[in-house]
Amino acid sequence: PTNHLQVEGSCNIWRADCRAKGGSPGFKVAILGAAGGIGQPLAMLMKMNPLVSVLHLYDVVNSPGVTSDISHMDTGAVVRGFLGQQQLEDALTGMDLVIIPAGVPRKPGMTRDDLFNINAGIVKTLCEGIAKCCPNAIVNVISNPVNSTVPIAAEVFKKAGTFDPKRLLGVTMLDVVRANTFVAEVLGLDPREVNVPVVGGHAGVTILPLLSQVKPPCSFTQEEIEYLTSRIQNGGTEVVEAKAGAGSATLSMAYAAVKFADACLRGLRGDAGVVECAFVSSQARLLYVTELPFFASKVRLGRNGVEEIYALGPLNSHERVGLEKAKKELASSIEKGVSFVGK
Ligand code: NAD
Ligand code: LMR
């Protein structure tokens, strides 16, 4: 295509394109929505990731500028930009990992579900492209409402006959990142030493931090449990209100997305013991954590994507009550996504 931004390929005496084509070690990653609030810092951080050899930046606006800018960073990945629907297929062909932060963000007073009408169609179209051009790629869905957009992606892939439940992951890493931060503050620890499993989904009461399973082992007062649960569940809204109409979390989300993408790539490389929380199909492994078709839980990532889904483990009474509330809302958000594609 004429305006296909093969930055390194615009002069035929350069050999970078040969390097990219010649199978230099590393993975090929596409970001869809790369010019957005999340997309830009995510693109920058992925360009810094040594596991990435080729980075495709796709958006419907502004991807040329972002691509030009990022491509000047003297790190290993070869960067190419793609603009508009007619370049989606080129952006996706050959990719190992596709990260989707495309779509509108919340403004104060909105729920994530209020984004459904716009974002459902965006995710559907992008996933149709994935099914056609890179059906074996690992897909990380960031676009909200995650509790519905992941089921939408699954339905699109099922229709195309390409659905592999192990390769589709809703990104709930920001909930874990926030939980680690807030718990560390309460305990007076370095957040890097803290690990809080967060299960369920990615909206309000569906975000269920398992404070009884925090590592290192610790205990909380009832007041601390109530404060932490509410702060973690409302972390997104806290940022939306602070940004006062200018969008939702972008920088912490890009950080979380890269942390998660890096885990997926380490899994693909064959590293052992890569375990993170993610919103996945219950069919990914023969373990139904709950009766729901999708649920966020701890998963082990490997060469095929989700290699194992972990059971929830022992829950205290507060968490059991939270789980019932989460399941009720999740069931309807999942159904909403499924029936959108069925239409
Ligand atoms: P943004 O508006 O800044 O950027 C979105 C980008 O998507 C824009 O550049 C836009 O041009 C692009 N886009 C729109 N339609 C597209 C299409 N059809 N194909 C490709 N790109 C398209 O928004 P943002 O702040 O980056 O947030 C993006 C999404 O991520 C929102 O839905 C938001 O709610 C969600 N989000 C999720 C999490 C999470 O934890 N999963 C966290 C933060 C934000
Ligand atoms: C978040 O948790 O920050 C995102 O889901 C964005 C939002 O709308 O809160």
**Contact yes or no for 108/241 (Cβ under 8 A):** yes
For residues 283 and 68, the model is more confident at 68
Whether residue 57 has pLDDT greater than 60: yes
Q: Write out the DSSP string of 156-195.
A: HHHHHT---GGGEEE--HHHHHHHHHHHHHHHT--GGG-B
User: Residue 11's pLDDT is what?
Assistant: 55
pLDDT of residue 333: 98
What would the pLDDT profile of 36-51 be if each residue is shown by its tens digit? 999 999 999 999 999 9
Q: Whose CA is nearest to atom 4 of ligand 1?
A: 36
For atom 14 of ligand 1, which residue has the closest CA?
103
Q: Is 102 in the pocket of ligand 1 (CB under 6 A)?
A: yes
Cβ(239) to ligand 2 under 6 A?
A: yes
Evaluate if residue 246 carries a pLDDT over 60: yes
13 — pLDDT class (breaks 50, 70, 90) = low
pLDDT in tens, 76-116: 999 999 999 999 999 999 999 999 999 999 999 999 999 99
Query: What's the rounded Cα separation, in Å, for the pair 143 and 116?
Result: 10
pLDDT at 17: 57
pLDDT recorded at residue 284: 77
pLDDT at residue 283, as a whole number: 85
211 C-alpha vs ligand 2 centroid, how far in Å?
A: 21
Pocket test for ligand 2, best of 240, 250, 260 (most atoms within 8 A of CB): 240
CB atoms within 10 A of CB 151: 27
For residues 165-202, b (16+ Cβ closer than 10 Å) or e, as one string?
bbbbbbbbbbbbbbbbbbbbebbeeebeebbbbbbbbb
Place of tokens 């997309």: 39
Look at residue 287 in the predicted model and tell me its pLDDT. 64
Active-site residue among 56, 72, 202, 318?
202
Confidence of residue 24 (pLDDT cuts 50, 70, 90): low
Is 231 a pocket residue for ligand 2 (Cβ < 6 Å)?
no
> 64 pLDDT exceeds 60?
yes
Q: What pLDDT shows up at residue 290?
A: 83
CA distance 42 to 40: 5
Distance 14 CA to ligand 2 centre (A): 42
In short, whether 250's Cβ falls inside 6 Å of ligand 1 is: yes
Q: Which residues of 19-50 are buried (b: 16+ CB within 10 A; e: fewer)?
A: ebeeeeebbbbbbbbbbbbbbbbbbbbbbebe
Where is 138: in which H helix or E strand? strand 138-141
Cα atoms found within 13 Å of the Cα of residue 234, Cβ hemisphere only = 11
Tokens of 3: 């305006």
Q: What is the mean pLDDT of residues 213-224?
A: 97
Nearest-CA residue for ligand 1 atom 13 is 102
Mean pLDDT across the chain: 94
Enter the ipTM. 0.99
The model's confidence at residue 286, banded by pLDDT at 50, 70 and 90, is low
| pLDDT the model gives residue 25 | 72
| Portion of the chain with pLDDT greater than 70, in percent | 92
Q: Report the candidate in 331, 243, 337, 244 with the shortest Cα–Cα distance to residue 295.
A: 331
Residues 27-36: tens digit of each pLDDT: 999 999 999 9
> Which ligand 2 atom is nearest residue 240's CA?
9
4 is a catalytic site residue: no
Give the lowest-confidence range in 6-10, 94-98, 200-204, 303-307. Answer: 6-10
253 CB near ligand 1 (under 6 Å): yes
Residue nearest to atom 5 of ligand 2 (CA): 236
The answer on pLDDT for 21 being more than 80 is: no
pLDDT > 70? residue 192? yes
Q: What is the number of the ligand 2 atom nearest to the C-alpha of 249?
A: 3
Q: Mean pLDDT, to the nearest integer, of 160-164?
A: 98
Q: Is 201 close to ligand 2, i.e. is its CB under 6 Å away?
A: no
**Residue from 174, 238, 241, 333 to probe ligand 2 pocket by mutation (most atoms less than 8 Å from CB):** 174
Average pLDDT over residues 115-132: 98
Ligand nearest to the CA of 60: 1
pLDDT at residue 3 greater than cutoff 50: no
Q: Pick the residue whose CA is nearest to atom 8 on ligand 1.
A: 36
